[in-house]
A and B are shown apart, each in its own frame.
Chain A
Amino acid sequence: MDLSWSAEEDGFRAEVRSWLEANVPKPSLPSGDTAEGFAAHLDWERSLHAERLAAVSWPEEFGGRGATLWDWLIFEEEYYRAGAPQRVTQNGIFLLAPTIFEFGTPAQQAWYLPRMSAADDLWCQGWSEPNAGSDLAGITSKAVRDGNGWRITGQKTWTTRGAFCTHLFGLFRTDPDETRHRGLSYLMVPLDAEGVTVRGFGRLDGDEGFAEVFFDEAWIPDGDSDPAQGGTLGPVGGGWGVAMATTTSERGLTLRSPGRFQATAARLVELAHSRSLDDEVLIDRVTQAWIDAEAYALHTLGDVTTIVEGGSPGARSSLNKIFWSELDIDLHRIALDILGPDAQLDPDGWMKGFEFALSGPIYAGTNEVQRTIVAERVLGLPRA
C-alpha cells in the first residue's frame, strides 16, 4: 500500500493545474449540449489538443503524451477541480478510442485517433433504438453487403450530442440469419454520408443535442479500406464482443473518473459554508456525500492499480456505475435541499446538474441491469 505520488506525478499535476488556471474560460461556456455552446466547446478542445492535454494517456503519434493511467487520473482530478468545460469529445475519446486501440487496424488507428484528439471528428454513440434500449441485443438496424462496403438501414436513438457530431459508431445487424447478440458488427459512419438524417429532440435538462439518427441505405466501406468514409471495426459478425469492451469502460472507469464527484462534493461543502448551514441533518447528509466521494476515489485507486498491473476489474465495474450514478443524484439533491426555495432559480447550476444526474442510473446500462450483472457475474447467483 503506497498512497504517495511520485515527484514526476506531482510535477505533472502542478503543470496541469497552472495551465488550467491560466486557460479555463471564465465565465463558464454555455452548455456544450446547445448549438451555441458546442462551438465554444470545440475551441476549448482545440486548445487542449494544442497543449497535448486532450488525451494525455495516448501515444504522442495520436495526439497524446504517452502518460500513464495514474497521470490520466491526476489530470481528471485537476480538470474537475478547475471547473473546466465539459468534454464534448468524450464519447469518442473515452468510449470509441479504447475500442479502436484494442480492435482497430494500424490504418484505422492512424486515421481516426489523431482526428479524434484534435476534435476534427466528433463522435456520437449509436447503440439504442426505439425498440432496443436496455436490450441492446434486440437491435434491428442492419447493414447489407454492397460491393466493397455496407449499406445501412435503420434508426438509432438517445444519441447524446448526435445533432452536433460528425460521426457515429454503433452496432448493426450484418448477418440476417443470426439473432440477438450474434451476427452484429461494429460500424463507424460519417453523419454527412448520403442517406443519413439526424434529428434532435428535447431533453429533461433542456439540452438540444440529443438526437435520432436515420439511415436510409447509407453506404460505408468495409474494414479500413477508406477510413475517411467510415468502416467496420473488429471482426464482421463479432460486433457484440467489440461493443462489450467499450461497455465496461463506460460503466466503470473512463466515463466517470472520481475527480468529477470529488469536485462536486467540494462545491457542496462550499455551498454549505456560503449558506452558513446550521441544520444538523443537512450537515450530516453533506458529510456522508463527501465521504462517499472519497470512498469512490479510493476504490478507483484500487481499480487503476489492478489495470496497471495487468488485470481488469471486469464485471465489478458495474458496482462502480451504480455507486457513482446514485452518489451524483445525492450530491445534487442535498444542494437543492440546502437552497430550499432558491433551488428552482438554479443558482450555480445545481438544478441543471440535478436534472442531468437523474439520467445517471439510466444511461450506460440502467442500474437495474447493473445490479443483475453484479448478482450473476460477481456474486455468482443463479441466473433467472
Chain B
Amino acid sequence: MRFAFSEDQVALRAGMADLLAGTCSPAAVRAAIDGEGVVPGLWSQLAELGALGILAPEESGGLGFDEVAATLLAVEAGAVALPDPFTQVACVALPVLHRFGSEHPGAEGRVAELVAGTAQVAVGLSWDSSVDQANAASWLLLEADDGLHLLPADSVEIEPVTSVDPALRPSRVRWTPEDGTRLGDPEHARAAAADAHLRSALADAAQLCGLARSMVAMTVEYTSSRTQFGRPIGSFQAVQHHLADALLAVTFAEPLVWRASVSVATDAPDRVVDVAMAKSQASDAAERVADICLQAHGAIGYTIEADLQLFMKRSWVLARRSGTARSHRRTVAEHLQVRPKRSASYEKPTQHPRRLTSSP
C-alpha cells in the first residue's frame, strides 16, 4: 500500500508545471482569448515534452505512462487554466482511439499525429452541450445513441457558440451518424463512448483540482499583501477561516481523483463509480473555492483586471461539464443501491438528454 506518487510521476508533473509556468501565464490566457483560443507555440512544446503522448504506447512515439501520470498532467493544465485542448487530446481522444479505433479506417495514423502534435481530434459527448476547439480539429469523435463515431472535420458543420469562458472556443456540431462513421459495431462503439465518458470526467476532475489550488494560492498571495485597517486582510480571522475552508474543500477532493486515476489505470471493476465520486467532489470543491476566493478578494476579485475571473469561469464550466456533480452522485447512489422506487423509469445518469446535434 502506498498512496503517493512515484519519483517518475513527480518528475513528469514538474516538467509540465515548469513548461506551463513559463508559457501560460494569466496574460497568455487573456491573449489566447483575444486571439485563436490557444497559446501560440505551446502545442508543439507540449508535443516535444511528450505530454501529448503521455498515454500513447512507445511504438507510436508516446511515453507509455498510465492514467495516474496523465491525471497529474491534467491537474497542471487546470492549474494555469490552459486554453489549449490538452486533456481532450492527450487524456481522452488518444487513448480512446488507441483502444477502440482498430475497426475504423479513419483511426489509423491518428494516434501518431496526436502524439506528434501535427493534428488534433475534438471530442463531443452526449452529456455536454458543446465541443471545445472544434475548429482546430481535423477529426472529431462524436457520440450518438449507437456509440462513438469518428468523422473528418470537413464532413460536419461547426457552429461557434458564445460561452462565459471564451478560451474554450466551444461550438455546436451538426452531423449525421452513419454505420460507416461508427467505431465498429454498436457494442464496440458504445464501449468506446463509455470509455470516453470515463476519461473526460477524470480529466476534468483533475483540472478542477488544479484550478482550485491556483485560486487558493493567488488569494493567499493577494490577501497577504493587501492591507486595510492597518493590517493585511489575510490576518483577519474571517478571511483566514474562509481560506481554510477553501483548502479543506480541495484537500478532500484530491484523494478521490488520485484513487480514480489508479482505478482507470488498472481497469478496476469500480472505475466508473470511482470516477463519479472524483468528478462530483472536484466539481463541488472548485465551485466552493471560487466563491470563497472571490469573497476574500473583495471588489477587486470582481474585476476583469484581476486574474481570478479566468480561473473562476473555467471552474464554473468544468464543474458542469463531463457530468454534473449531481448526476455523478446518482451513479454513486445506484452503486449503493439507494435509489427511488420508481427505478424502472429511472434515467441512466450517463445518457444525458442534451444532444450536441441534430440529424437533418
Contacts and interface: CB of A to CB of B under 8 A. Distances in A.
Interface stretch (B30-38, B95-103, B250-258): B250-258
Contact of B237 (A273, A296, A384): A384
Interface in B318-348: 326, 329-330, 332-333, 336-341
Given A283-B340, A372-B241, A384-B236, A295 B333 contact: no
Contacts of B63: none
B338 A382 contact: no
In the A-B complex, the 9 residue pairs with the smallest Cβ-Cβ separation, listed nearest first, are: A375-B240, A298-B255, A301-B3, A374-B244, A371-B244, A381-B234, A382-B235, A295-B252, A371-B241
Interface in A267-283: 269, 272-273, 276-280, 283
A284 interface: yes
Interface stretch (A82-90, A96-104, A142-150, A285-293): A285-293
B354 interface: no
B220 A380 contact: yes
A341 B65 CA distance: 55
A93 B341 CA distance: 46
B240 A298 contact: no
Interface string A285-315: 0111011101110110110111001000000
Nearest to A277: B338
Give the one of B236, B251, B258, B281 with max A CB within 10 A. Answer: B251
Interface in A145-195: none
Given A2-B1, A286-B338, A374 B329 contact: no
B281 A302 contact: no
Nearest to B234: A381
A1 B121 CA distance: 30
6 contacts: A1-B258, A306-B4, A368-B241, A371-B241, A381-B224, A381-B243
Contact of A375 (B1, B243, B256): B243
Contact of A382 (B234, B261, B333, B340): B234
B256 to A, nearest CB: 5
The secondary-structure label for the interface of chain A is helix
A305 B2 contact: yes
A374 B247 contact: yes
Contacts of A319: 244, 247-248, 251-252
Given A278-B341, A294-B256, A295-B255, A371 B240 contact: yes
Contact of B3 (A1, A278, A380): A1
Contacts of A302: 3-4, 255
Give the one of A290, A375, A378 with max B CB within 10 A. Answer: A375
A276 B224 CA distance: 51
Contacts of A294: 256, 277
Given A277-B338, A301-B255, A322 B248 contact: yes
Interface string B17-49: 000000000000000000000000000000000
A319 B246 CA distance: 11
B295 to A, nearest CB: 15
A3 interface: yes
Given A277-B338, A319-B247, A299 B4 contact: no
Given A1-B2, A1-B5, A379-B216, 4 more contacts: A1-B261, A9-B1, A286-B336, A305-B1
Given A287-B338, A323-B248, A305 B3 contact: yes
A284 B333 contact: yes
Nearest to B66: A1
A356 B101 CA distance: 56
Nearest to B259: A298
A21 interface: no
Interface residues of A, number: 53
A237 to B, nearest CB: 31
A40 B245 CA distance: 41
Interface in A1-39: 1-6, 9
Contacts of A272: 336, 338
A290 B252 CA distance: 13
Give the one of A4, A9, A382 with max B CB within 10 A. Answer: A382
A117 to B, nearest CB: 25
A286 B341 CA distance: 16
B105 interface: no
A2 B2 contact: yes
B262 interface: yes
Contacts of A5: 1
A111 interface: no
B151 to A, nearest CB: 36
Interface in A334-376: 368, 370-372, 374-376
A380 B338 CA distance: 42
A99 B246 CA distance: 32
Given A295-B256, A375-B240, A375-B241, A269 B234 contact: no
A70 interface: yes
A70 B252 contact: no
Contacts of A2: 1-2
Contacts of A304: 1, 3
Contact of A371 (B3, B245, B341): B245
B280 interface: yes
